[in-house]
Amino acid sequence: MQWYINAVFYELYLRAFADSNADGHGDFAGLRQRLDYLEWLGVDCIWLLPIYPSPLRDDGYDIGSFYGIHPDYGFLEDFRMTVDEIHRRGMRIITDLVVNHTSDQHPWFQEARRSKDSPMRDFYVWSDTDDRYADARIIFVDTETSNWTFDPVTSQYYWHRFFSHQPDLNYDNPKVRQAMLDVVRFWLDMGIDGFRVDAVPYLYEREGTSCENLPETHDFLKELRHFVDTHYPGRLLLAEANQWPQELLDYFGAGDEFHMCFHFPVMPRLYMALARQDRSSVVQILDDTPAIPEGCQWAVFLRNHDELTLEMVTPEDRDFMWQTYAADTHYRLNLGIRRRLAPLMDGDRRKIELMNSMLFTLPGAPVLYYGDEIGMGDDVTLPDRNGVRTPLQWIDGPGAGFSTAPALYSPVIGDAVYGYHQVNVQAQQADSTSLLHAVRRMIFARKNLPVLARGSLEWLHDLPLQTLCFWRRSAEGAVLALHNLSDQPLDIPLEPGIVFSDALYPDVGPVSGSVRLEAYGCRWLLPEAG
């Protein structure tokens, strides 16, 4: 089995993680000092958010140069040392690769906008009018009114799918395609294990289409995969494509495009199922999810650095999600919700564990978002998505143990429920009944159960809708995963004649006949051999 198929991923925002030089920003030296923690937690692969030089108007997704490290984070040598240290500990690391656009401060764009005759002009997409590609939706609806922005220097418009300061690269230009392969080579030569490839559906534009998922885009992505396979076999390409299952499937190609894709549609449905105490939406979307080629895997997640996206639900379901989880409209952003997992669950430990249990037992490799393993909160007073990107809370002490600087890049969460006095790594590491230990227990149980990676999925349809219960089976074994979505205890009848053990709490002893699930309870049961 390829390494990523049963890996546990940890999404890590370097600026928020650990500040070694007291400048208020996390950095590589800080991360190196804290690798013990990630190893202890059982993380297999770290996914680093963008670390490139950047004006930071989109937190580094606005790249100012593909060939360096943001000065806040250290030197390129620091990066290399960090990669080596991660590998020495038996973990892996992938980084964000932003292929669709650059910052408007990138030298390519600076040169391109200089004149219509600039040799770099064709690196970007220009037009005399702002009415082309009118069928392409706007993604950042709260900030942008058009995908075109007028550039007074040459009196033409340039194309951008995200912020207006992020011009899209022109993939019709072979030089752009080659330039991106050069970037890929540079970073893979540094020894990283692959990329989370950002915003992949939008690379090409064609009149009369939505400008998403175009055949030309897939052609380039296959070229990228071929390049990686040829020169760097075993490295991972993970796609960020916020699309429905059918379209997502195309990003795996015939096993010759991405190794992994985030399963965007399943994520909001886990929240919906819990709020409605009804499994139907989760069952439906996974039943609609086609089988993926050999050697491929889904990446599943509960939260990430962006808003909890509601793009892949119906308008009715979006309203339901907003009413339920963001009744206060300050929590809404674009088509999503800018909150972290713990506050979304009202801080209810049972619900947080239940959500994690579904994440760990349904198909796919789980991707955790830094801080959610201790139940960190968010800060809605911060703009955009910054409220879910606050410093990791290490200790109940100054700067939460993140930094000793007088001023931090972001305030630490300090409220009475989720603040660092109450919620921090140190206290939870010391307490075997903490959320952190519960999450860690799931991580290690999961690693011992490779059937959870690619085993079949068989629903227990006869049970009440308030349950999400299913078998995972493969040649490597079987797991019966039981979840109670309701606020009442439920007794679940088990198949007669089978004796089970408990994969999360092996000391519980054999289970047979039936099993009680407490309100929001979950169990991972293993049929005993023989």
The answer to the question of residue 199 lying near ligand GLC (CB under 6 A) is yes
- Whichever of 359 and 388 has its CB closer to ligand GLC, that residue is 388
Residue type, 86: I
- Whichever of 17 and 140 has its CB closer to ligand GLC, that residue is 140
The answer to the question of residue 109 lying near ligand GLC (CB under 6 A) is no
Give the shortest CB-57-to-ligand GLC separation in angstroms: 10
Of 498-527, which residues contact ligand GLC (CB under 6 A)? Answer: none
- Whichever of 72 and 278 has its CB closer to ligand GLC, that residue is 72
Q: Which of 298, 246, 236, 283 is nearest to 454 (CA)?
A: 298
Residue type, 307: E
The answer to the question of residue 312 lying near ligand GLC (CB under 6 A) is no
Give the shortest CB-332-to-ligand GLC separation in angstroms: 16
Question: Could you say which of 11, 104, 198, 278 contacts ligand GLC (CB under 6 A)?
Answer: 198
Residue type, 376: M
- Whichever of 306 and 378 has its CB closer to ligand GLC, that residue is 306
Instruction: Give the HSE-up count for residue 366: Cα atoms under 13 Å, Cβ half-sphere.
Output: 28
Angstrom CA distances, 396 to 21, 39, 346, 412, stand at 20, 22, 22, 11
Residue type, 381: T
Strand ranges (DSSP E) for 312-364?
A: 332-333, 336-337
240 is catalytic: yes
Give the shortest CB-345-to-ligand GLC separation in angstroms: 23
Q: How far apart are CA 302 and CA 372, in angstroms?
A: 9
Which positions ≥6 away from 307 have C-beta within 8 Å? 333, 334, 335, 336, 337, 338, 385
Question: Could you say which of 10, 37, 61, 123 contacts ligand GLC (CB under 6 A)?
Answer: 61
198 is catalytic: yes
The answer to the question of residue 301 lying near ligand GLC (CB under 6 A) is no
Q: How far apart are CA 32 and CA 15, in angstroms?
A: 13
Give the shortest CB-202-to-ligand GLC separation in angstroms: 9
- Whichever of 200 and 355 has its CB closer to ligand GLC, that residue is 200
Q: Which helix (H) or strand (E) holds 29?
A: helix 28-33
The answer to the question of residue 367 lying near ligand GLC (CB under 6 A) is no
The interface mask with ligand GLC, positions 273-292, x = CB under 6 A, is --------------------
The answer to the question of residue 162 lying near ligand GLC (CB under 6 A) is yes
Residue type, 227: F
Of 213-272, which residues contact ligand GLC (CB under 6 A)? Answer: 240
3 state SS of 510: coil
Which positions ≥6 away from 397 have C-beta within 8 Å? none
Q: Which helix (H) or strand (E) holds 272?
A: helix 266-276
Question: Could you say which of 19, 27, 205, 306 contacts ligand GLC (CB under 6 A)?
Answer: 306
Q: How far apart are CA 32 and CA 77, in angstroms?
A: 13
Give the shortest CB-107-to-ligand GLC separation in angstroms: 19
Which residues of the shown chain bind ligand GLC in the complex (CB under 6 A)? Answer: 58, 61, 162, 198-199, 240, 305-306
